[in-house]
Amino acid sequence: MNQSVALDSIDLQILALLQADGRMTNRDLAVRVGLAASTCQARVRRLRDAGAIKGFAVELDLAALGSPVQAFLAVQVRPHRRPVVAEFVAHLQKIPQVRRFYHLTGPDDFLIHVAVDSVDGLQALVLDAVTARSEVLHVRTNLIFAEWKGPSLLPQATTTTA
């Protein structure tokens, strides 16, 4: 979302409810915010079109899917120029073990979240898919012991009574 979206209290309630349960039906959502189902659906569509809602996703259990080892790779690339960055990004987007990555300011240029099947798999990923690239100057690998989810961006919505 590049521009701020004007949001009223109903929009904020809709976003908070969907943030807590993205699978909530439009009917249930409409009841919770006190709108007709068609009006609620139009608001959700407007929020999607405006970029306030980027999408709806399933959260996967990586360990259950065979990738119990997670790590962050802090990577420096040189030269740190647009064509090099673009090529490195395109490379990362093709690696299935890369869950998410960020282009940063500071001493590291990228922070890459990876999930692999084993420590040996992590070593192979770092050596074969990252440090083997000529633009990669340095990689620092940090294993993830545990993860927690932060609080919701928007406070829990209160139900409107009609």
pLDDT tens-digit map of 123-161: 999 999 999 999 999 999 999 999 998 888 887 655 444
Distance from C-alpha of 136 to C-alpha of 78, rounded to nearest angstrom: 6
* pTM of the predicted structure, to 2 decimals: 0.83
pLDDT for 162: 46
pLDDT tens-digit map of 51-109: 999 998 888 999 999 999 999 999 999 999 999 999 999 999 999 999 999 999 999 99
Q: Which domains are assigned to the chain?
A: 9-49 (1.10.10.10), 69-143 (3.30.70.920)
Which string of b and e fits 114-134 if b means at least 16 CB within 10 Å?
A: bbbeeeebbeebbeebbeeee
Considering Cα of 24, then 27, then 29, then 32, what sign does the dihedral take? negative
